[in-house]
Amino acid sequence: MATFRFDLVSPEKIAFSGDVDQVDIPGVEGDFGVLAGHAPVVAAIRPGIVTVTKGGKQQKVVVLGGIAEVSDKGLTVLADVATSVADLDAAQFAQTVASMEAQLASKQGSELDRAIERLDHFKSIQQQLQTTAMH
Amino acid sequence: MASLKDMRVRIASTKATQKITKAMQMVAASKLRRAQMAAEAARPYAEKMEAVIGNIASAAAGSPGAPTLLAGTGRDKVHMLLVCTGERGLSGAFNSSIVRLAREHAQSLLGQGKEVKIFCVGRKGYEQLKRIFDRQIVETIELRSVRQLGFVNAEDIAAKLLARFDAGEFDVCTLFYSRFKSVISQIPTAQQIIPLVIEKPAANAGPATSYEYEPGEDEILTSLLPRNIAVQIFRALLENNASFYGAQMTAMDNATRNAGEMIRKQTLVYNRTRQAMITKELIEIISGAEAV
């Protein structure tokens, strides 16, 4: 299977860099998979899980928003925060979600809408993490 | 003339100072390595961000509906200077050289009849700038309590800056920081971040790839531009941090060497005086014995 270059960078570090078979990305308008030879796309990312497939093995990375760029040179994901699922502290994540929920009350208008949307994304990450952990 | 005891005390105190500067040099050297690594780790993100924005922006810049962060407000009246300096001194000309660049910039703008506002990041820059530009300083952020410089710090600064921009408080923003070239060379730099300056693609780069956008081009651009401000500030902070330790290391290295030189000179004077006293006492004893 043809491979392509994939870089996952966050402001603080390079979270992943190498040749891969497939990457599944949580776009704001729905998830999409990227294979070698994908058409050039720039897509915004919602908080979610990026799945990297390489030689039959899967690796999951939690990203909290950002942007993905597919060009003829490969795929680049500029993530706001990128944490490998293995490194993610579930308890701390739950705490973040709880504190976001608590802050909802103080927000209003479009800010509230955005906060609710973001919280939904976080909760869906949490749920996905829990279901994968059971397997 | 100082007594022998005074001289001994002075030599001891110089030695103590030398120990301190030596320790500071070593601490700066080890922190420099970490700061340099952090600055290098942030570079790919900033570069990719620049490339993506450059791609989208070159298409959007001409259109009338382009965001103000990219196209500017159409005016050039009020300038915001975002001056990033260190929190501590004892680092040679590090803070002063950034402040000097900002000051010259501000004075030339004022000379042209423009309005200047200053946003200080870092205590040292604020202390130096408030002497001349006390009225122009609109905001100060100190990063003193921050142990590990994170992206959140930059986001915080960017949010404050953008809130002022959205309120129409300024038209152009220039970022001042010290670019880390090497341990012995840090270059104070001025970089315009609002409106964004896009470097023209190289002539031999070939035709730009035509992208599909998901969602629309405008949505991506409006979310990306504020982010880019934060990224640029983050990069400036990291470069500054590395520059600071580089400058401090060099300064402390010099101080240690100067202290060594001073100790050598003081010891020479001390020994000479001691010898002179001994000789004088001997003469007194001998001439006393001869008189008897």
Looking at chain A, the whole-number percentage of residues with pLDDT higher than 90 is: 9
**Residue given tokens 């990219």 in the structure block:** B70
Q: What is the mean pLDDT of residues A95-105?
A: 80
Q: How far is CA B218 from CA B103, B222, B223, in A?
A: 37, 6, 9
pLDDT at A115 (0 to 100):
78
- Indicate yes or no: CB of A40 within 8 angstroms of CB of B234: no
Say yes or no to pLDDT of B249 above 90: yes
Q: What is the mean pLDDT of residues B112-141?
A: 90
Phi, psi of B187 (to 5 degrees): -105, 115
Structural element, H or E, at residue B245: helix B217-291
pLDDT at B267 (0 to 100):
96
Say yes or no to pLDDT of A103 above 60: yes
Instruction: List residues of chain A with CB under 8 Å from any CB of chain B.
Output: 7, 9-14, 27-29, 39-44, 67, 69, 71-72, 76, 78, 80
Closest to B94 in 3D by CA, of B11, B32, B27: B32
pLDDT at A135 (0 to 100):
47
Say yes or no to pLDDT of A111 above 80: no
Instruction: Please tell me the pTM assigned to this model.
Output: 0.82
Looking at chain A, the whole-number percentage of residues with pLDDT higher than 70 is: 96
Residues in chain A, overall count: 135
Number of Cβ within a 10 Å radius of residue A89? 10
Q: What is the mean pLDDT of residues B89-111?
A: 91
Phi, psi of B142 (to 5 degrees): -110, 135
pLDDT at B65 (0 to 100):
65
**Which segment, A92-101, B66-75, B116-125, B263-272, is predicted with the most confidence on average?**
B263-272
ipTM: 0.71
pLDDT tens across B181-204, in order?
A: 888 889 999 988 888 877 655 544
The residues that bridge with A74 in the sheet, in sequence order, are A71
pLDDT at B203 (0 to 100):
47
Kindly provide the residue ranges of all beta strands, DSSP E only, lying in B61-210, ordered along the sequence: 78-84, 115-121, 137-141, 172-182, 185-194
Q: How far is CA B58 from CA B29, B46, B174, B208, B216, in A?
A: 42, 18, 21, 10, 16
- Indicate yes or no: CB of B214 within 8 angstroms of CB of A41: yes
Pick from A10, A27, A40: which is nearest to B211 by CB? A40
Closest to B151 in 3D by CA, of A65, A13, A100: A13
pLDDT tens across B61-82, in order?
A: 556 666 778 777 778 889 999 9
Q: What is the mean pLDDT of residues B106-128?
A: 91
C-alpha to C-alpha distance for B97 and B104, rounded to whole angstroms: 11
Cis amide prior to B195 (ω within 30 degrees):
yes
Pick from A28, A41, A78: which is nearest to B49 by CB? A78
Q: What is the mean pLDDT of residues B38-45?
A: 84
